[in-house]
């Protein structure tokens, strides 16, 4: 089983949401259908980035890192061309 860390971007206000899951397609549909209270006000979303991990703990640690200040810098570096 794979675990994915993903970044969604709100098409309403361009904000990011970072999460992890073992079923990326299902989780993306849940976000866009309003099932998640944290993302519901900023619908709709588009998937702009994901990484796969073999271990849940590694995926969770990567999610935590990407939500940190250094993680935001990493996101900006990874998606430099996209974010222009």
Question: Tokens 């979303």, residue?
Answer: 45
Ramachandran area for residue 50 (φ above 0: left; ψ -120 to 50: alpha; else beta): beta
pLDDT tens figures, 63-83 = 999 999 999 999 999 999 998
Q: What is the pTM of this model?
A: 0.94
Domains along the chain with CATH numbers: 3-83 (3.40.1440.10)
Please state the length of the chain: 84
Here the tokens at position 73 are: 């810098």
- 4-60 pLDDT, tens digit per residue, is 999 999 999 999 999 999 999 999 999 999 999 999 999 999 999 999 999 999 999
Pair of tokens at residue 28: 């993306």
């Amino acid at each position: 089983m794979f675990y994915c860390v993903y970044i969604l971007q709100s098409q309403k206000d361009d904000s990011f949401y970072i999460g992890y899951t073992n079923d990326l397609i299902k989780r993306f549909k849940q976000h866009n259908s309003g099932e998640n209270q944290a993302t519901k006000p900023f619908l709709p979303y588009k998937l702009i980035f994901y990484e796969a991990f073999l271990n849940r703990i590694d995926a969770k640690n990567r999610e935590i890192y990407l939500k940190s200040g250094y993680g935001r810098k990493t996101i900006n570096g990874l998606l430099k061309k996209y974010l222009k």
